[in-house]
Amino acid sequence: MRILITGASGQLGSYLRDEWLSQGSDEITGWCHRPGADRPGPASSPVDLTDDRAVEEALREADPEVVIHLAAMSAADAVRRDPELGRAVNVLATERIARWCGERDRRLIFASTDMVFDGERGGYREQDPACPILEYGRTKAEAERAVLAIPHGVVARISLLYGPSRSGRESFFDRAIAALRRGESQTFFEDEFRTPLHYAIASRALAGLATTDFAGIIHLGGPERVSRFELMTRVAHRLGLDQGLVRGNRRADVAAAEPRPADLSLDTTRLAQVLPLLDRPTIEGSLEISNG
Ligand SMILES: NC(=O)c1ccc[n+]([C@@H]2O[C@H](COP(=O)([O-])OP(=O)(O)OC[C@H]3O[C@@H](n4cnc5c(N)ncnc54)[C@H](OP(=O)(O)O)[C@@H]3O)[C@@H](O)[C@H]2O)c1
């Protein structure tokens, strides 16, 4: 199966490449934005998603049967600061890739986000209407519509991801762990809830979805609804770090340019039905995988 991963150089893309390679697949094309010679693993080809012609040519060359579209302006704050670029990367490029896949009957799996919801009640199911309050969530919700309009389009709404970076670039997780190791306290919200998922499990889920016939929306989240504070307290404990350095605060304590959704936890019943063999361990169990 010829697979194209856009955003292969990113945090999730690095794990997904490893997942496919561990399955013995050698028909993978990975795209990045800027070439990064210092990155570990196989090189990705630079393709700027805002360049229509470059995208068309690169798609023709790769001729994928399945596209796993991870590339995005993934930081909510970056999209808020530059909504035009955010829309070009997150919406217009997704529309272009969806059109290409739709015209050729190819499968497209699109990485969306729990931030398509407003966080007012949590436990969101796939049939709940998108109601984003962040510009980033609005771009993803708009892109979702293009993916759902093609026959083999899959919208995978992903919860907060965690785990050590394999991309050669630090993630929030790496920064926090490094600071805790240095004995510096770190503060996380106690009143903001997600269903976090380890990068390794998310990439197994995406690889699994590529081999099913499933089309439509599916929520990719972990088995537990926790705050960032609980997540990082348990991570610190599991890694033998000083839990006392993990401090809690509340959303109201911190001024924010955009409102922070309170509870973006996802109902993942459908994921368990579509991928019954996918093991989703607890936070502690997931950290075992990344150490193994
Ligand atoms: N991380 C999370 O907690 C989370 C949660 C929910 C959903 N998601 C979604 O999951 C996907 C992967 O997230 P991630 O954390 O792996 O993101 P990431 O580390 O920020 O990676 C983003 C990827 O997109 C590429 N990219 C950015 N702008 C591009 C452009 N103009 N043209 C081509 N490629 C471009 C980057 O290339 P370079 O490396 O060359 O810059 C990189 O490979 C994203 O769609 C994100 O929205 C993530």
The domain segmentation of the chain, as residue ranges, is 3-163+197-223+266-282
Q: What is the pLDDT of residue 133?
A: 96
Phi/psi region, residue 232 (left: phi>0; alpha: psi -120 to 50; beta: rest), is: alpha
Q: Which atom of ligand 1 is nearest to the CA of 162?
A: 3
Measure the CA–CA gap between 6 and 71, rounded to whole angstroms.
Answer: 5
Half-sphere exposure of 229 (CA within 13 A, CB side): 13
Distances (CA, A) of 108 to 60, 111, 148: 15, 10, 10
pLDDT at 292: 45
Closest C-alpha to ligand 1, atom 20? 74
For residues 122 and 265, is the Cβ–Cβ distance under 8 A? yes
Q: Nearest C-alpha to atom 18 of ligand 1 is from which residue?
A: 10
The answer to whether the pTM exceeds 0.85 is yes
Q: Whose CA is nearest to atom 21 of ligand 1?
A: 10
Determine how many CB atoms are found less than 10 A away from the CB of residue 84: 8
* Residue 107, SS3 per DSSP: strand
Predicted local confidence at residue 258, as pLDDT: 86
What pLDDT sits at residue 37? 56
Q: In this structure, which residue's CA is closest to atom 12 in ligand 1?
A: 70
What confidence score (pLDDT) does residue 276 get?
97
**Cβ–ligand 1 contact at 12 (below 6 Å):** yes
Q: What is the DSSP string of 53-64?
A: HHHHHHHHHH--
Tally Cβ neighbours within 10 Å of residue 285: 14
Give the integer Cα–Cα distance in Å for 220 and 160: 10
Residue 229 C-alpha to ligand 1 middle, in angstroms? 24
Give the closest residue to 211 by CA, choosing from 66, 42, 57, 73: 66
Using CA atoms, how far residue 46 sits from 9, 58, 112, 181, in Å, is 10, 10, 22, 35
In the chain (292 residues long), the average pLDDT of successive 10-residue segments reads 94 94 85 77 88 96 97 96 98 98 97 98 97 97 98 98 93 95 96 97 97 97 98 96 96 88 97 97 90 50
Q: How far apart are CA 140 and CA 149, in angstroms?
A: 14
Quick check: CB of 221 below 6 Å from ligand 1? no
Identify the CATH class of 3-163+197-223+266-282: alpha beta
Euclidean distance between CA atoms 266 and 3, whole angstroms: 28
79 CB near ligand 1 (under 6 Å): no
